[in-house]
């Protein structure tokens, strides 16, 4: 598979929303991790 084939697959109209969700997923994982750490700090006090 070369980059042109990969681009054709990723830019297909039915795959664009899935690709757009990847940064959102990363953001919400970061946010959950940050809140979990804050709760752990409060529990430890």
Compute the radius of gyration of the chain from its Cα atoms: 18
Number of domains in the chain: 1
Q: Is residue 5 part of a domain?
A: no
What string of pLDDT tens digits covers the 45 residues of the chain?
Answer: 799 999 999 999 999 999 999 999 999 999 999 999 999 999 999
pLDDT value for 26: 98
Q: What is the pLDDT of residue 5?
A: 95
Domain that holds residue 43: 19-45
Position 29 in a domain:
yes
Per-residue pLDDT, 1: 79
| Spatial contact of 29 and 21, defined as CB atoms under 8 Å apart | no
Q: What is the pTM of this model?
A: 0.69
Whether residue 44 is contained in a domain is answered as: yes
34 within some domain: yes
23, part of any domain = yes
**CA–CA gap between residue 5 and residue 20 (Å, rounded):** 19
């Amino acid at each position: 598979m070369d980059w042109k084939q990969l681009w054709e697959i990723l830019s297909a109209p039915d795959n664009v929303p899935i690709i757009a969700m990847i940064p959102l997923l990363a953001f919400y994982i970061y946010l959950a991790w940050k809140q979990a750490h804050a709760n752990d700090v409060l529990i430890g006090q």
